[in-house]
Amino acid sequence: MNALVWFRRDLRADDHAALFHALKHHERVFCAFVLDTDILDALPRADRRVEFIVDALRVLDADLAALAPGAGLIVRHGTAREQIPALAAELGVDALYFNHDDEPDALRRDADVGATLLARGVQVESFKDHVVFERSEILTGSRKPYGVFTPYKNAWLREINPFFLSSYPVGRYAAHLAEAPPRGVPSLGDIGFEPAGLAAALSGGSAGAQRLFDEFLERIDRYGDARDFPAAKGPSYLSTHLRFGTISIRRLAREAWTRAYAPTGGQAVSAGAQVWLSELIWRDFYHQVLHHHPQVVGGAFRPEYDRIAWADGPDADADFEAWCQGRTGYPLVDAAMHQINETGYMHNRLRMVVASFLIKDLGIDWRRGEAYFAEKLIDFDLAANNGGWQWASSSGCDAQPYFRIFNPVNQSEKFDPDGKFIKRYLPQLAKLPPKLIHAPWLAKPAELAACGIVLGRDYPEPVVRHETARMATMARYAVVKDRTFPDA
C-alpha cells in the first residue's frame, strides 16, 4: 500500500507525527508540499516568509534523501485543493497523511481535500504535531475550555509527562520512503517571487533551527532576566521555526520541562527554563482558544468590546500611517516599527508596547494593527498574533485590564535604559544621551541643537500626548461596562 504525506507547517523530517505514522503503516510513502496559490497570490512578490519556506523545503528535500536513497520532496505550485487530489491519483496512493492546522481557512481547505479523496476511496488521516496539547486535551473540571491562562498552565503542567514530549522515531521506518520524481524544489523565480532579504540567522531550515536552539540552550538559564530587553540577546529567536515547524515543539518543550521541573544528573532547576516553558504553554493556550472560539478571527473574544467606537477618518488614518512607518515621535515605538519593517521580526516586549500605543494612545482598532503584523511578521501565527492583540486591547482571553495602559516613555527607560536599541533603528537620535533619548520633546532646544537635531525635521514631534490620550481611552472604554473606569 502507498501513502502520501502532505507537509504544511511542519517542514522537517525528524520527529514528525504524520510522516512517522505513514511510514509505519505503508510500504511506500511519498512526501509532498504545495506552494498554495490560494495563499501566495495575496502576498507581495518579495516576501520573507516565502523565501524562508523555499529555503526550508530545500533542506527538507535533502533530509529525506539522507534518510533513504532516492527519497525526496515532491513540490507542486497551484491550489492545494487541486494539487493534492491530483498528486494522490498520479501516485496511486491509498492514504493521505497530514498534521493538524486549526486556522479556519486551513480547516476548510483540509475538509475540501479530505472530502474529495474520501469520495475516491482514499483513506485520510491527520495528527497532532504543532503543539504539545491541542483542541480539547486540556479542559476544566467541567469539561470546558479554559479562558484564563494561569489555570490552563497549571492544568498543562499537571498533565505533562515524558510520553507527551517523546519524539516520533521516523528513522526506524525510513526504508519505506518512496523514490521521488526528479523535479526538485523550485526557485523563488520559478514561482514568481524574488528575494526579500531573509536574515542569515533564519536560513538553513531544520538545520538552522537546531543551530539556533543549541545556541539558546547556552543562555536559557538567563532567559527570565534578559528576555524583556530588546538590545540584549535574550529571546530564543525560534518563533519563525516554530511557526513553520522546522523544529519540533516536543523537542523544545522536552528540553525546557526537563531543565525547569525534572533536571537530571545533579543539575539545578533552571528558572529561565521555567519562564521559557511558560511562553511555550502560552502558545498552546492561544491555539486552543482559536480552536474553541474561531469567532476571535475578526471579532473580540469578549463581544462587549466590539461596542467600542474606535478612532476613524483622515486623522486616524494619518496616525495609523505614522505608527506603521515609525514616525510617532516616541522613540521606542518608532524603533520597534522600524525593526519589523526592516527585518520582519519584532521583539516580544516591543510587540506589547507598540500594540498598546496603537490601541490606547491613538485609539485605533486593534484589528488594524493585527492585520499589519500579519503582513509584516515572518513568524506570523494567526492564533498567537490574534491572542496578543486581543490581550493588548483588553478584549481577549485573560487580557490585560482595560485601565492598564503602557506608558511608552516609562517602557523605554526601563527596558532600553541606554537607548541602544533605539539608536540601532533610529540613528538620527544616536547623539542623544540616555536622559534625553526616551522623550526628545522634553529636551531643551540647546540640548537638541548640541546633538544636531531639530524636531519636526530630523525626528517628528509626538503625534499625541500620552497623558491626554490616556484619558480619552478611559472614556472610550467606558462603553464596555457602561460606567466610568477607575484611575490606575
161 catalytic per annotation: no
Alpha-carbon distance of 215 to 204, in angstroms, equals 15
Which residue among 82, 125, 137, 310 is the active-site one?
Answer: 310
Which residue among 279, 375, 413, 447 is the active-site one?
Answer: 279
Which residue among 51, 366, 370, 391 is the active-site one?
Answer: 366
For the record, the C-alpha cell of 288 comes out as: 486552543
310 catalytic per annotation: yes
Which residue among 156, 257, 389, 391 is the active-site one?
Answer: 389
Count of alpha carbons within 13 angstroms of residue 253, beta-carbon side: 26
389 catalytic per annotation: yes
Alpha-carbon distance of 227 to 272, in angstroms, equals 10
Cα dihedral angle (279, 283, 285, 289), rounded to 10 degrees?
150
Cell 475538509, residue? 111
Residues with Cβ within 8 Å of residue 180, at least 6 apart in sequence: 30, 31, 61, 64, 70, 71, 72, 73, 74
Do residues 219 and 233 make contact, with C-beta atoms less than 8 angstroms apart?
yes
323 catalytic per annotation: no
Which residue among 156, 282, 323, 391 is the active-site one?
Answer: 282
Which residue among 348, 375, 413, 447 is the active-site one?
Answer: 348
Alpha-carbon distance of 177 to 32, in angstroms, equals 12
Residues with Cβ within 8 Å of residue 381, at least 6 apart in sequence: 239, 242, 243, 283
Do residues 386 and 461 make contact, with C-beta atoms less than 8 angstroms apart?
no
Cell 482558544, residue? 289
Cα dihedral angle (400, 402, 408, 414), rounded to 10 degrees?
-40
For the record, the C-alpha cell of 228 comes out as: 524583556
348 catalytic per annotation: yes
Residues with Cβ within 8 Å of residue 243, at least 6 apart in sequence: 9, 379, 380, 381
Tell me whether strands 28-36 and 2-7 are parallel, antiparallel or unpaired.
parallel
Active site residues: 279, 282, 310, 348, 366, 389
